[in-house]
Structure 1
Amino acid sequence: MDPTGHKYFGTVDYVIFALLLIASMTIGLYYAFTGGRQRTTQELLFADRKMKCLPLSLSLMATFQSAVAIIGTPAEVFTNGTQYWFIGCSYILGLLIPAHIFIPVFYRLHLTSAYQYLELRFSKAVRICGTVTFIFQMVIYMGVGIYTPALALNAVTGFNLWGAVLATGSVCTLYTALGGLKAVVWTDVFQTVVMFTGQLAVIIVGIQQAGGLSEVWVKVREGGRISGIDLNPDPTVRHTFWTLGVGGVFLMLSLYGVNQAQVQRYLSTRTEREAVMSCYMVFPCLQVGLTLSCLMGLVMYACYGDESNPYVKSKDQMVLYFVMDMLQDFPGLPGLFVACLFSASLSTISSAFNSLTTVTMVDLIKPHYSMSESRATLLSKILALSYGIICLAVSYVVHLMNSSVLQAALSIFGMVGGPLLGLFCLGIFFPCANSIGALIGLAAGLVMAFWIGIGGFLAQISIPVEVYLLNFTNTRPDVSDNITALTATIDSAHNKSSGRLGLHGLYSLSYMWYSAVNSSTVVLIGLIFSFMTGPTKPNDITSGTVYPVVKNLQNLSKPSVCCSSSPELRNKEVNGNVKEESAPAEERETFLPSHPTPCVEHETSV
């Protein structure tokens, strides 16, 4: 170790890290030069709609099991205990609802972009607003996803910061642009295996270094890191069972229900049933990932306890410091974990590139410009490259964020994904909602999101200022009277604001409730303005765009009748003139009993 605390990679570590990048790139090149060679948008963006559920489920998990989670979750458990594990309870409803509501609706409408639904249900203006909001969300998240592991690696090992960022971003951009969705899914599968292997290796070695499994248990229990179920209903408490188990459901719905990165994978399956099964199979994958991350945090605590480390500037660097410290006598294992970390980063970013390319082509370019298939495919690849460059640019400003990466990432999805979830829920569950209500509701949800988010960020900044003032009072008696008066004023203001439900309470809201509050705001405001401007008439609703909640509840004890399907947007007008097709009886599904006409189980092109 040098005076800066850096622990450097050995030759074997560099080789393993390089092999990860080479393997990922090779998979992309393989799909670029085999099969249809990505010559159509159908193959490039949707893998010819022939993907199977097992690789898709691993890809679905890897998309948001990013480097942020691998660094942030162990750091969270190390610092605050296992309370965060209860977010796993939200996975149940967070995946069942998409499997039985969102997937059937989107799949039977033959969509290529989730935001085509918004035009079918509302209007073109709502579709564009939803698309732009999604692009903003994913571009910001990409910056967090690519910069975070590189920053932590640089802080602990001295590994060149921008060298890591450029290597990750360049490789990811190239294999996504060349290999399309097939390359993204299969590299996700490979990278998921690397992720689990790297985490498991670190946990096993860490347990041995700590003195065995029983010793780990004793240390974490005595250190108060084993958390019970906290049933405190206060929404301002950062992590309780309710914030994680209930607030987490809304976060999961925004990720696995309406996010284009996931919807695109559902739509790439051969049948609707395989799409549903892939959603089911995500549950055990997520639980394994969460358990490994929590175990790593506990092993870290068993090894270090509450000791402060002068070389670790933030808790998010703790994981990599632990890896380099504990595994320095095991050549290759530090490189394996860093490969695990960057695998998570690559899987997230590649999924973002692919989904951003799709919505840009389908929602913003194709409706306004007609072009040949070969030209559209070429433009899609150029868009993927362009988003790669944008991702690298955004990573330059991400370092200004001083909160934990886990909280920062989940806050982004709550602040922007929440309003998008509310917009889709407004359309799917409320037939009376109209286009004006949807637009005003989305705007209100975004305003609420950034009001709470920015207000909470600024409120957190005030705390270090007060701590500094109190410390300054103790070291400078000559100004103690003025400082004491000032801190007394601050304390008085805090006591008054905390004693009532006001802005202070709103700004103190746990970040896990962001998605729930923001999506509820969209639905509430959207319904109010829909009734004020005239609710949508039943005859004006495009077939298949509304989920019949009441009818389904009435028919729970009766045989279900399949709904009618609306074909894909490019072949139909958005005015409700829908041409129905019949499917073979053995392929008919029974998820959405809204019409007496048979449901279509389809295989169509983009």
Structure 2
Amino acid sequence: MQLPVIDLIIFLIYMLGILLFGASFFFKKNRTTDDYMVGGRRLPSWAIGMSIFATFVSSISFLALPGNAYLTNWNSFVFSLSIPIAAWIAVKFFVPLYRGVQSESAYYYLETRFGPWARTYASICYLLTQLARMGTILYLLALPMNALLGWDIATIIIVTGISVIIYASMGGIEAVIWTDAIQGIVLILGALTCLGIILFSMPEGPMQVIEIGQEHDKFSLGSFGLSMTDATFWVILIYGLFINLQNFGVDQNYVQRYMSAKTEKGAIKSTWFGSSLYVPVSLLFFFIGTALFAYYQVFPDLLPQTLQSKDAADKIFPFFIVNGLPKGLTGLLIASIFAAGMSTISTSLNSSATVILTDHYKKYINTPPSGKDNFRVLTIAAVVMGSLSIVVSLAMTEVKSALDAWWALSSVFSGGVLGLFLLGYFSKNVQQTEAAIGVVIGILVIAWMSLTPVFITEGPWLSFRNPMHANLTIVIGTLVIFLTGFLLSKVFNRSSH
């Protein structure tokens, strides 16, 4: 399809503006590696908070959450309800811990508890997870952009990837945080505008959306039963809690932001602000999905036959953006979708470069490196990670069935790190050996839970398949690591007396 010229101009101006603004931080005088990695520890808490919020939101959220609400109900919103609980744990325990350690790396603490192997293991898992994450977001961002703009998917992936690489590698964390703040504002304004237009397009006014939603049970948060095989309220809440503990506790993206604030109090404020903002904004996305459902119930003739199947739910919002908005606003909404994807990828690039420098280059290759070496390594690392993520994303265009396997593998990596971190933090008597055994057993459990549903679909091995809901993988795996290490420490300590 062909976008109106005004929309295309708005979109291109936005993209160019973000690129130039982010790259401008490269030309600041007297820049240090401290500026690149943690913004000189002087960034305002509101900007860091907006960056934390933007890290939570990706282009997947912008399109998948409305699609989910359109197709089903608000069950997935329960994930957002777990964020304030995880944020409270973070500001009480994790933020003071990392501010006290004073390392740019989230994994230095694991070395102080369990030795160099733990730091190296966790940092490699993080880098592999980020490659999967960035590649997937680039790919999923390209799909609606292909539908909206008619551009080739591979071209969109390459252009978007290179754009983010330029400003993330040149500008460092300051560029990432300030562009995240701008993109977070654009994203919220775009979503609010879209919802307002839908609500006031209803023949009987905004309340008609509520009435139609209630008639079709669209506001349900899911079953309150205790099943472990279905996406009940409790399964989603517990899953959200563990995922967000992982974000706040062992994700370099978040830890770097704790270190970027002027004070510990500022870091706590930014954590509360960013995480709390996501709750109403995610609610906004779910409400957009419900409003779209009501809109097309009232105006069914406006929805093409090809978009009336269940498989097309994620395409409803992009279709409305192009066909239901006035000229000019379509360009703004497309910019919002790009904003969500770019902010997530730029965050991952900067944090990955920091991990490569602090956990690998400084430790194993050049100790201590000069300031010039640091800058060179950070820039090269960001470019290499960005380029690899483009390759991963392009591979997904050829092997789409690999998408589920990618995410299954990333849960194997990340689940093991969260369990190790919680073991180190909350059980002070656990030693290296117990922790290592716990991690090995935990990863085997996580691998079984993650991979058997992907690879065992029929045949005699079907009974070996994980029967539990996929969202419980990180929960069970993390608990296995924690409990194994804790119980082994009790056994070893008792036998040593």
Tell me if TM exceeds 0.5. Answer: yes
Say whether residues 1:220 and 2:217 are aligned partners: no
**Residue correspondence of structure 1 range 140-179 to structure 2 within 5 A:** 140-155=132-147, 157-179=149-171
Q: Which whole-Å CA distance do the structure 1 matches of 2:121 and 2:449 have between them?
A: 21
SS in 1 for 2:82: helix
Q: Which whole-Å CA distance do the structure 1 matches of 2:305 and 2:230 have between them?
A: 28
Equivalent residue, structure 2, for 1:416 = 413
Higher relative contact order (CA 8 A, sep 6+): 2
Q: Deviations over 1:170-194 (max 9, x none)?
A: 1110101111000000000000011
Q: Which has the higher helix share?
A: 2
Q: Which whole-Å CA distance do the structure 1 matches of 2:322 and 2:228 have between them?
A: 38
Say whether residues 1:354 and 2:346 are aligned partners: no
Equivalent residue, structure 1, for 2:16 = 22
Say whether residues 1:380 and 2:378 are aligned partners: yes
Q: Which whole-Å CA distance do the structure 1 matches of 2:288 and 2:165 have between them?
A: 30
**Structure 1 residue 402: Cα displacement:** 5.5
Q: Which whole-Å CA distance do the structure 1 matches of 2:450 and 2:385 have between them?
A: 26
Q: Deviations over 1:106-135 (max 9, x none)?
A: 110111101111111110011111111111
Say whether residues 1:426 and 2:423 are aligned partners: yes
Equivalent residue, structure 1, for 2:270 = 278
Q: Which whole-Å CA distance do the structure 1 matches of 2:53 and 2:199 have between them?
A: 26
**Structure 1 residue 148: Cα displacement:** 0.5
**Structure 1 residue 17: Cα displacement:** 1.5
Equivalent residue for 1:516, pick from 445, 457, 475:
475
SS in 2 for 1:226: coil
The alignment's C-alpha RMSD in Å is 2.6
Say whether residues 1:456 and 2:449 are aligned partners: no
**Would the aligned equivalents of 1:12 and 1:332 in 2 still touch at CA under 8 Å?**
yes
Equivalent residue, structure 2, for 1:467 = none
**Would the aligned equivalents of 1:173 and 1:353 in 2 still touch at CA under 8 Å?**
yes
**Structure 1 residue 447: Cα displacement:** 2.5
Q: Deviations over 1:16-48 (max 9, x none)?
A: 211221121122222111243x3x211111111
Equivalent residue, structure 2, for 1:84 = 76
Q: Deviations over 1:551-581 (max 9, x none)?
A: xxxxxxxxxxxxxxxxxxxxxxxxxxxxxxx
**Structure 1 residue 205: Cα displacement:** 1.6
SS in 1 for 2:3: coil
SS in 2 for 1:210: coil
Q: Which has the larger radius of gyration?
A: 1
**Structure 1 residue 526: Cα displacement:** 2.3
Distance 1:410 1:272, change over 3 A: farther
**Structure 1 residue 512: Cα displacement:** 2.6
Q: Which amino acid is the alignment partner of residue 18 of structure 1? A: L
Q: Which whole-Å CA distance do the structure 2 matches of 1:69 and 1:293 have between them?
A: 8
Equivalent residue for 2:435, pick from 433, 438, 441:
438
**Structure 1 residue 15: Cα displacement:** 1.2
Q: Which whole-Å CA distance do the structure 1 matches of 2:495 and 2:389 have between them?
A: 40
Q: Which amino acid is the alignment partner of residue 382 of structure 1? A: I
Q: Deviations over 1:483-509 (max 9, x none)?
A: xxxxxxx9xx99xx8xxxx745xx342
Q: Which amino acid is the alignment partner of residue 330 of structure 2? A: P
Equivalent residue, structure 1, for 2:173 = 181
Distance 1:536 1:375, change over 3 A: farther
Q: Which whole-Å CA distance do the structure 1 matches of 2:11 and 2:108 have between them?
A: 40
**Would the aligned equivalents of 2:70 and 2:290 in 1 still touch at CA under 8 Å?**
yes
Equivalent residue, structure 2, for 1:31 = 25
TM-score by length of 1: 0.75
Equivalent residue for 1:389, pick from 379, 387, 390:
387
Counting matched residue pairs gives: 486
Q: Which whole-Å CA distance do the structure 2 matches of 1:255 and 1:267 have between them?
A: 15
Distance 1:25 1:296, change over 3 A: same
**Would the aligned equivalents of 1:436 and 1:533 in 2 still touch at CA under 8 Å?**
no
SS in 2 for 1:246: helix
Q: Which whole-Å CA distance do the structure 2 matches of 1:301 and 1:443 have between them?
A: 46
**Residue correspondence of structure 1 range 332-343 to structure 2 within 5 A:** 332-343=328-339
Equivalent residue, structure 2, for 1:470 = none
Say whether residues 1:130 and 2:122 are aligned partners: yes
**Would the aligned equivalents of 2:91 and 2:271 in 1 still touch at CA under 8 Å?**
yes
Equivalent residue, structure 1, for 2:51 = 59
Q: Which whole-Å CA distance do the structure 1 matches of 2:219 and 2:440 have between them?
A: 42
**Would the aligned equivalents of 2:94 and 2:248 in 1 still touch at CA under 8 Å?**
no
Segments of 5+ residues of structure 1 without an aligned counterpart are 1-6, 463-489, 538-606
**Which 10-residue stretch deviates more, 178-187 or 226-235?**
226-235
Q: Which amino acid is the alignment partner of residue 419 of structure 1? A: G
Q: Which amino acid is the alignment partner of residue 387 of structure 2? A: I
Provide the identity percentage. 24
**Structure 1 residue 533: Cα displacement:** 5.3
Segments of 5+ residues of structure 2 without an aligned counterpart are none
Q: Which whole-Å CA distance do the structure 2 matches of 1:70 and 1:535 have between them?
A: 53
**Structure 1 residue 439: Cα displacement:** 2.2
**Would the aligned equivalents of 2:105 and 2:354 in 1 still touch at CA under 8 Å?**
yes
Q: Deviations over 1:417-467 (max 9, x none)?
A: 3221111000000012111222232233233223212222346x66xxxxx
Q: Which amino acid is the alignment partner of residue 73 of structure 2? A: G
**Would the aligned equivalents of 1:144 and 1:395 in 2 still touch at CA under 8 Å?**
yes
Distance 1:315 1:457, change over 3 A: farther
**Would the aligned equivalents of 1:51 and 1:268 in 2 still touch at CA under 8 Å?**
yes
